[in-house]
Amino acid sequence: MSGKFEILKRYVEGEAIRSIARNCQRSRNTIRKYTREFDEALKELKSATEENKNELIRQLVDPPKYKSVKRKRRKLTKKIENEIIKCLKENEIKRNDGRRKLQMKNIDIHEYLEENGFNIGYTTVCNFTRKYENKRKEAYIKQEYNPGETLEFDYGEVPLIIGGAKRKLDLALFTTADGSCHFSRLYENKKTVNYLDAHVKAFEYNKGVHKEIVYDNLKQAVARFTGPNGKEATDALKKISLYYGFNYRFCNARRGNEKGYGK
């Protein structure tokens, strides 16, 4: 009831439907439905008798009622599932675009289905969206490592002011999977000579070499892709791994969590 009252209050104050939908986080179709019913009730008030006015006034801010008694609920058909999935995918696009507040809630999805002629229960919508979202969630398993087992490598950028001028230097960063110990070094660029130098300095700092080093898909480490998940190491990585006696592993694109970082 408070939600409907807030919508009508904004409407009476002259706020646009698009703005109301954004601020109240409801679909524009729902806003139009409430405001249309409100306008119709106001017209009736002008010609209503005194005894009917109280009932009409109460109806103005009553919560929405669905005529569910006289109609038979349909089962969750494939067509309805596709409509719900379409709404959920639009929500994902909004999240990625920074429009998280404009996402459709389950009640909005249910109202959208009702307005488009689908007779489906609200609880059914909630159950499906929960099942669909849980199915798409990726599982993460915390791993434990022994000292000297795994070392992770990555590049970053560091903005600096040197001699009054703004500069950006490349940061070569090593992190131990066990204990989260860091070693980093700044370079002018990511050329292979600096990439190799960072490894040598890290091994000197650690006073030893880890059994395995894990990399993202940086060009200094990956020469080419050999399939959906296959990668061939660069000559530089092959040579330094043979010389120092460590194994290397790559994570998938945009999957830094696959490095297996653990404290």
**DSSP 8-state code for residue 21:** H
* Contact criterion met (CB below 8 Å) for 92 and 137: no
For residue 199, the tally of other CB atoms under 10 A from its CB is 22
* Contact criterion met (CB below 8 Å) for 213 and 145: no
User: What global pTM score does this model have?
Assistant: 0.47
Higher pLDDT, residue 139 or 117: 117
Kindly report the three-state secondary structure assignment for every residue of 113-171.
Answer: HHHCCCCCCHHHHHHHHHHHHHHHCCCCCCCCCCCCCEEEEEEEEEEEEECCEEEEEEE
Counting runs of H as helices and runs of E as strands, what totals does the chain give? 9, 7
Q: Which residue segments constitute the domains of the chain, with CATH numbers given?
A: 1-65 (no CATH), 72-137 (no CATH), 150-259 (3.30.420.10)
At residue 2, the pLDDT reads 56
At residue 11, the pLDDT reads 85
pLDDT over threshold 70, residue 103? yes
Give me the torsion for CA of 29, 35, 39, 40, rounded to 10°. 50
CB-side neighbour CA atoms (13 Å) of 119: 10
- Alpha carbon distance 257, 123 (integer Å): 35
Q: Could you tell me how many residues make up the chain?
A: 263
Distance of CA 165 to the CA centre of its chain: 37
* Contact criterion met (CB below 8 Å) for 110 and 158: no
Give me the torsion for CA of 40, 42, 45, 46, rounded to 10°. -100
pLDDT over threshold 60, residue 164? yes
* 3-class secondary-structure state, position 186: strand
Per-residue pLDDT, averaged over 115-128, amounts to 86
Please, which residues have CB within 8 angstroms of residue 128's CB and are 6 or more apart in sequence?
Answer: 76, 81, 84
The values of phi and psi at residue 133, to 5°, are -65, -40
Confidence of residue 118 (pLDDT cuts 50, 70, 90): confident
- Report the chain's mean pLDDT, rounded to a whole number: 81
pLDDT in tens, 25-68: 888 888 888 888 888 877 776 766 655 656 655 666 555 554 54
**β-pairing, 222-225 with 212-215?**
unpaired
At residue 253, the pLDDT reads 54
